[in-house]
């Protein structure tokens, strides 16, 4: 069981979500950018709203944290839903959240203790724009963070499922 204390109130729910970004328990959407996580049998996952719930200050932050446990591994996946013109800023937000936010460290530590297996930290940018690979590498190096994928989210495309990157 993934413990999200003291941030249970920030979890996306199947129905009756109080956070606009939560479309269901594990599906997110912001300004047309969509992402989901589909656990398989025996796996558990939660989506925690960071921006506006766990973090209510004006410091940098990313949008959501997915916590995943199953298949002998655990994943803490930071997600930033971002418009095409602001992808570069997303790298900074993800890095700041991972490195400078004690709340993230607390949630990650709780996941670490929740089940056996190795903990992986991942970061994703969901956008309707794209950057060339050399630019992505330059931004990763500048901010000291590896982004698992810059996922394309367009209304006509299938919604990206983070399970494919776990």
The number of domains in the chain is: 1
CA atoms within 13 A on the CB side of 27: 11
1 within domain boundaries:
no
pLDDT in tens, 116-125: 889 999 999 9
* CB-CB contact of 149 with 165 (8 Å): yes
Q: Structural domain of residue 133, as residue ranges?
A: 8-165
Residue 2 lies in a domain: no
Task: Identify the CA nearest to 61 among candidates 37, 36, 80.
Answer: 80
| 126 found inside a domain | yes
Q: Does residue 58 belong to any structural domain of this protein?
A: yes
Instruction: Write the DSSP string, 117-140.
Output: SEEEEEEEEEESS---HHHHHHHH
Q: Does residue 130 register a pLDDT over 90? A: no
Q: Would you say residue 3 lies in a domain?
A: no
Mean pLDDT of 112-139: 94
């Amino acid at each position: 069981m993934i413990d999200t204390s003291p941030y249970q109130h920030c979890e996306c729910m199947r129905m009756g979500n109080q956070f606009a970004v939560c479309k269901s328990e594990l599906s997110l959407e912001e300004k047309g950018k969509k992402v989901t996580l589909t656990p398989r049998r025996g796996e558990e996952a939660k989506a925690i709203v960071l921006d506006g719930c766990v973090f209510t200050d004006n410091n940098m932050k990313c949008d959501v944290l997915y916590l995943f446990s199953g298949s002998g591994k655990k994943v803490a996946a930071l997600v930033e839903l971002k418009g095409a013109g602001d992808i570069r800023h997303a790298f900074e937000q993800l890095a700041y959240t991972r490195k400078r936010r004690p709340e993230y460290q607390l949630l990650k530590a709780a996941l670490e203790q929740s089940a056996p297996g190795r903990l992986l930290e991942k970061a994703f940018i969901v956008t309707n724009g794209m950057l060339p690979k050399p630019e992505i590498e330059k931004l990763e190096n500048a901010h000291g963070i590896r982004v698992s994928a810059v996922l394309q989210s367009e209304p006509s495309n299938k919604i990206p499922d983070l399970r494919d990157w776990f």
